[in-house]
Amino acid sequence: IGQKSGPRVEFVKGADKIHVMIGGELFTSYMYGGELTKTVLYPVKTPSGIKVNRGFPFEKIEGEAVDHAHHVGIFFTYDMVNDVGFWNNKTFPPRVIHKEVTAMKGGQGIGELSTVMEWTGMNENVLLEEKRTMVFTAGKGQYAIDFSIDLTAQDKKVVFGDTKEGMFAI
pLDDT digits (tens, 9 = 90+) for 56-102: 777 888 887 877 767 788 999 999 999 999 998 888 899 999 999 99
- pLDDT at 126 exceeding the cut of 60: yes
What pLDDT was estimated at residue 4?
Answer: 66
Banded pLDDT at 1 (limits 50, 70, 90)? low
Banded pLDDT at 163 (limits 50, 70, 90)? very high
What pLDDT was estimated at residue 74?
Answer: 94
What percent of the chain clears pLDDT 90, i.e. is strictly above it?
77
What pLDDT was estimated at residue 88?
Answer: 86
Residue type, 93: P
CB atoms within 10 A of CB 8: 16
3-state SS of the chain is: CCCCCCCEEEEEEECCEEEEEECCEEEEEEECCCCCCCCEECCCECCCCCECCCCCCCCCCCCCCCCCCCCCCEEEEECCECCECCCCCCCCCCEEEEEEEEEEECEECEEEEEEEEEEECCCCCEEEEEEEEEEEEEECCEEEEEEEEEEEECCCCCCECCCCCEEEEC
Banded pLDDT at 54 (limits 50, 70, 90)? confident
Banded pLDDT at 45 (limits 50, 70, 90)? very high
**Rounded Cα–Cα distance for residues 113 and 147 (Å):** 10
